[in-house]
Structure 1
Amino acid sequence: MKSAFISFVIIVCSYGSSFAQGPPTNYDESAIPSYTLPDPLLSPNGKAVTTVKEWERKQRPYILKLFTENVYGKIPGKPAGMHFKITETDTAVLNGRAVRKQVTIYFGEGDAAPSMDLLLYLPKANKPVAVFAGLNFNGNHTIAADKAIKPAKYIKRKDGQLSDSEAIEASRGSTASRWPLEEIISRGYGVATAHYYDLEPDDKDGWKQGIRTTMKDALHIATGAWSAIGAWSWGLSRIQDYLESDAAVDAGRTILIGHSRLGKTALWAGANDQRFSIVISNNSGEGGAALSRRIFGETIRNLNTSFPHWFIARYKSYNDHPEMLPVDQHMLLSLIAPRPLYVASAEEDQWADPKGEFLSAKNAEPVYALYKLQGLTVNEMPAVNTPVGETIRYHIRTGKHDVTLYDWQQYIEFAESKKVVSDK
């Protein structure tokens, strides 16, 4: 199967891997074993949760704890001494319609503390604006062909070694199609993004130089108590911390977005940090929006074989027994409630199990119903390029594992429909 994304930076996307262990990949609907999903509204004592109060005070924390203990691990709080430094501002970018800021987020006191570089584009407006926030795969400099953007601190070369890139200029703007700045800015929204490697390199040994090591003492958390996805999720909350300090941003309307493994990350961050007003999962697949008990495409074993660092060690005990997990991914989606949630799939991305993503969103509906909010409003998978749903929305588009302009257009329209409106 072809790799999902090829550039000078080698990012092995989860849908494109091959595996030496475990049963062959199933793409046959008729071969899916029967399964029963755990009920997000069934309390540990077997009683039904029927009110928002019961959900918020008891059931939601209980489910969050189950995911913490079995799948993603802990997420520590905001570090002491965290501070920001705006390193560059240009008030006339994108043909004079936007402001670009580059900010270093320091995770402790002093400028020697571990840090993350944030790239921020804001439309010129008379009021604070809503912002789409998310991590990027290849470095801030790749989302736009703009020579002023600070390059990534390090990249992953073809030989698998981390290093500063001597050929960084060749990669500028190489992922611009995934970040259609002109479209987003023209609709009145901003974009905030950072390279996920700033938090932890995406490698089984990445923890050795990532924040799970460099911030271990400051955050009072053992390295094995959380995962790479946890570290990346933690970084998204630190982006929100900065946005709350920027007077040009309406941080109460931050829209969290993530694609593929960073879609898994966005869902986990959104579940833990309720400051994000909308959460968007783009092609997040197994360990993200797709149901684990539905054996189709990628499986838990596949994840833990190729990406052992993404999740905590205990998750590996469910490699061949997803039915033993006390949770499934519809329960993760339910933790976003009552905030709007968008789950998106791609027709050719069968590895990520589009139907499993749809069914997961569908089975999160009962929790939204507690808040008297409508979910998908349909019972069957919609046709391609036909978004469905109200507070939960879903689409499957034509094409492959990617983030496209079509996806972004749907996300912007969803934000506007939920009154996260632009200030055009």
Structure 2
Amino acid sequence: MIILLISVNLMAQQTGVNYDEKEVPNYKLPELLVSKNGRKIKNAKRWEKIRRPELLKLFEQEVYGKIPVDIEIDDVIIHEAAGEAFNGTAIRRQVELVFRKDDLALSANLLIYLPKDSDNVPVFVGLNFNGNHTVSDDPDIRLADSWVRDNPSLGIVHNQVTEQSRGVASDRWPIEEILEAGYGIATIYCGDIDPDRDNFQDGIHPFSYQLGQFRPGYDEWGTISAWAWGLTKAMDYLSTDADVDSSRVIVFGHSRLGKAALWAAALDQRFAMCISNNSGCMGAALSRRQFGETVGSITKAFPHWFCENLNKYASREENLPVDQHMLLALVAPRPLYVTSATEDLWADPKGEFLSAIEAGAVYQLYGTEGLPVNEMPAPDSPVAGSVGYHIRTGKHDITSYDWKQFIDFANQQFTPEQ
């Protein structure tokens, strides 16, 4: 631990990043339960009618960007309806969701595993970083053909995957354990929806452009909003799958994809639950703490993730009309699980925990308890009400330990009758 703290302090000195709680500025969070005209929100009805729409609009305008057009699935191609998987214990489904507009076409490939001989199955759905074939060494998963960031060590060369990349992320996707617990799992490669680069000429964004437009408007969707949109399209399909219980679809994501999962859950209330794993800045962590990654650093490194309006708040977090506890609150009254990691100071674990605490005020409007504690729990000691939280020993990652907590939390939230 001493070595880690010395390392963190040296890194902070070299980069100018704050990892010292003593250097967190005094801050005041914007009021969660006071409307823009000063009206106090005292019940769930007022929250749903007044405050929730206000906050959703602010996040659209100032952070993630609004989705300017309604783009529906044009075609569904079933490449595999019920392939046998995992020694006959599961079925594998591979579905291509096709979108078209004028001369534009885009395909998002959805991989689904379900326990064999089960119906009405609850499903975890989330995006992956490098292609569906990376989540398992299953040789029958179709290789991604979208642009992927080069990583020769993973077999990704000239922005295309190879067989070498098959199963390289399987440690983050304990699919057999998820299936054994009675859940299905579904995933789409995020780059099928929008490649993770500052381009805006590929992916889904051109579908929304007007004549002469080459990038989203200052208040229009960045890549995270596009990824969230893709998750809602996955939900569209899952709602039609007779083997899936569409009332128990859990949206989840790790890191930048955790930011997308939170935004998707805010936009689409069909998701029954949301899991944010190490989502950090502009995910679960409070921006005003300016601890670890900040608005300034994230908009400089990844300007394409957000709408251009967010640039106004670089090093001016106190001027943001929202903070991330408000994003978490938009998930209410649906169950929410937030995670951190002890070595992931860049994502500000304490800021994630405090954000989850603050969101509990909206859960109380619905007569449920958010987080049942006020003090940050010890590592590897999960706590849960309608909002759950744990900080795991280790680095920025998603592990089998995390997945065990997700499954346990889902089991607590979904009653047997469902």
Q: Decide which of 146, 169, 176 is 1:175's aligned counterpart.
A: 169
Instruction: Give TM-score scaled by structure 1 length.
Output: 0.90
Give the conservation status (yes or no) of the 8 Å contact 2:55–2:322.
Answer: yes
Contact 2:281–2:287 (Cα < 8 Å) also in 1: yes
Task: Return the match for 1:209 from 202, 208, 213.
Answer: 202
Task: Say if 2:343 is the partner of 1:351.
Answer: no
Q: Does 1:52 align with 2:38?
A: no
Match of 1:130, SS state, is strand
Q: Superposition pairs for residues 221-232 of structure 1, below 5 Å?
A: 223-224=216-217, 225-232=220-227
Identity of aligned residues (%): 50
Partner of 1:334: 329
Separation in structure 2 between the aligned mates of residue 364 and residue 263 of structure 1, nearest angstrom: 17
CA contact (8 A) 1:198 1:210 kept: yes
Q: 2:402 and 2:92 mapped to 1: Cα distance?
A: 23
Amino acid at match of 1:212: H
Contact 1:281-1:344 at 8 Å conserved across structures:
yes
Q: Deviations over 1:282-326 (max 9, x none)?
A: 000000000000111010001011000001111011001100001
1:126 Cα deviation (Å)?
Answer: 3.7
Q: Does 1:186 align with 2:180?
A: yes
| Match among 116, 141, 166 for residue 149 of structure 1 | 141
- Counterpart secondary structure, 1:411: helix
Paired residue type of 1:252? S
The more displaced of 177-186 and 414-423 is 414-423
The corresponding residue for 2:387 is 392
Gaps of 5+ in 1: 1-14
Partner in structure 2 of residue 8 of structure 1:
none
Partner of 1:84: 76
Is contact 1:78-1:238 (8 Å) kept?
A: no
Aligned partner letter, 2:65: G
Q: Structure 2: which 5+ residue stretches go unaligned?
A: 1-7
The offset of 1:47, in angstroms, is 2.3
1:250 maps to what in 2? 245
What code does the residue aligned with 1:370 have?
A: L
The match for 1:43 is: 35
What CA distance in whole angstroms lies between the structure 2 residues aligned with 1:79 and 1:44?
Answer: 31
SS at match of 2:244: coil
1:381 to 358, 376, 384: 376
Q: Is the 8 A contact 2:64 2:224 kept in 1?
A: yes
Say whether 1:360 aligns with 2:352. no
1:73 to 31, 46, 65: 65
Specify the code of the residue in structure 1 equivalent to 2:206.
Answer: T
CA distance 1:411–1:69, shift in 2 (3 Å): same
- Secondary structure of the equivalent of 2:78? strand
Q: 1 CA distance for matches of 2:102 and 2:202?
A: 19
How far off is 1:213 after superposition? 1.3
1:200 is matched with 194
Give yes or no for contact 1:114–1:215 (8 Å, CA) kept in 2: no
Over the aligned positions, Cα root-mean-square deviation in angstroms equals 2.5
Find the aligned partners of 2:157 and 2:201 in 1 and give their Cα distance: 12
Q: How many residues align?
A: 402
Deviations 1:70-129 (A, max 9, x none): 100112565245221111234421111100011000123899731101100011134210
Distance 1:215 1:400 in 2: 38
Q: Which runs of 4+ in 1 moved over 6 A?
A: 109-112
Higher relative contact order (CA 8 A, sep 6+): 1
- Alignment counterpart, residue 31 of structure 1, candidates 12, 23, 44: 23
Bigger mean CA deviation after superposition, 175-184 or 119-128: 119-128
Aligned position for 2:5: none
Q: 2 CA distance for matches of 1:385 and 1:67?
A: 32
Whether 1:410 aligns to 2:405 is yes
Contact 2:134 2:165 in 1 (8 A): yes
Work out which of the residue numbers 278, 285, 290 in structure 2 matches 1:283: 278
Q: Distance in 2 between matches of 1:126 and 1:283?
A: 32
TM-fit CA distance, 1:137: 0.2
